[in-house]
Amino acid sequence: MTLTLRIGTRRSTLAMTQTGHVRQALAGALGVDAADIDARLPLVPIVTTGDRIQDRRLLEVGGKALFTKEIEAALIDGRCDLAVHSLKDVPVEPPPGLKLAAIPVREDPRDAFVSERFDSVLDLPEGARVGTASLRRQAQLLALRPDLRIELLRGNVDTRLKRVADGEFEAILLAASGLNRLGRGDRIRALLPVEDFVPAPGQGALALQTREDGAPGIEHWGLALNHPATALAVKAERAAMRALEGSCRTAVGAHAWLEGEDLVLIAERLRPDGTRRWRETARIPLSSDVEAAAEALGQTVQNRALADGEPFEN
């Protein structure tokens, strides 16, 4: 029987582009000819609540799960067999009946500084307007430059790039991975150092989600598309986030990478106004329980913040 794998995705340009890359990799893993891709690996585009609401921060309307819940519902009720998400949008605790089946190799996880006239955050004039919808990016910007005016910026990547080009903002921050995948890497004025701008957990990575009982051909494409180093790093980041109670209501960052026989992990929490930040860094031996160690590191950061009077959010 000819295998067919229906792929659920958001309908945004970036999501469709990312899913297109995954579909090509799936075709290679499953031996699907280019002429047969549309028939055997059909896309199921879905407009999510997060896509429809563009005038408010996600924290005001339910959080990042608004980018995934309709697609996950399509998986559960059988309208698609596989979903492709930006991993940073996927809640740490999956809905019952679903699992992450593969994590492909990660794109650049850093934040990108985009501006028409200025080369870096430090070059911005006093009181400059910077656009972002991320509480984490807001807090990190204000920690570095408390004089900046942080203003809400929602919409797709092209809309955001147009608004900074039209002079509504002196600069905006976006994920470098999205710009690179869309072929807009030339708009990046600077890549922000992880030391100042710890990325969101999972930033730059994609997640392939299926039902618990799997999906057609998973024994072939699951192993082929999964990138073990990326999968381990993001598992640690998400474990730290779980302990940090990371959500759209808390400014948290977590980033991990492999160095020799260790995994290096940075986890931090910030006040939204940037006046305080709590951070820990650890080298975790790969021979240990990386996920448990990452969660313990996140809990250490959380405990320090709570001891200083920060509210508990979930």
Give 36-68 pLDDT, tens digit per residue.
999 999 999 998 766 665 555 555 445 556 778
Residues 290, 274: one domain?
yes
CATH code, 60: 3.40.190.10
Residue 281, classed as helix, strand or coil, is strand
Each residue's pLDDT tens digit, 96-148: 999 999 999 999 999 999 999 999 999 999 999 999 999 999 999 999 999 99
- Residue 229: what are its φ and ψ, rounded to 5°? -65, -45
89 labelled catalytic: yes
Distance CA 280, CA 289 (A): 18
The active-site residue, picked from 89, 111, 166, 273, is: 89
* Within a domain: 255: yes
- pTM for this predicted structure: 0.92
pLDDT, mean of residues 185-204: 97
In the numeric block, which tokens belong to residue 5?
A: 């794998």
**Rounded CA separation 66/37 (Å):** 29
The pLDDT score that the predictor gives to residue 54 is: 55
- Residues 35, 173, single domain; the answer is no
Identify whether 200 is part of a domain: no
Number of domains in the chain: 3
Distance, CA of 307 to CA of 269 (rounded, Å): 13
Instruction: Name 166's Cβ contacts closer than 8 Å, sequence gap at least 6.
Output: none
Residue 249 is part of a domain; what is its CATH number? 3.30.160.40
Find the largest Cα–Cα distance for the chain: 65
SS3 270: strand
How confident is the model at residue 56, as a pLDDT?
53
* Residue 199 maps to a domain: no
Residues 96 and 130 in one domain: no
- Give the residue numbers spanning the domain of 220: 7-105+205-226
| Residue 2, in any domain of the structure | no
pLDDT of residue 130: 98
Contact indicator for 214, 1 with CB cutoff of 8 Å: no
C-beta of residue 211 within 8 angstroms of C-beta of residue 107: no
Kindly list the distances between the CA atom of residue 162 and the CA atoms of 191, 208, 277, in Å, as whole numbers in the listed order: 19, 31, 32
- The pLDDT assigned to 155 comes to 87
Both 156 and 26 in a single domain?
Answer: no
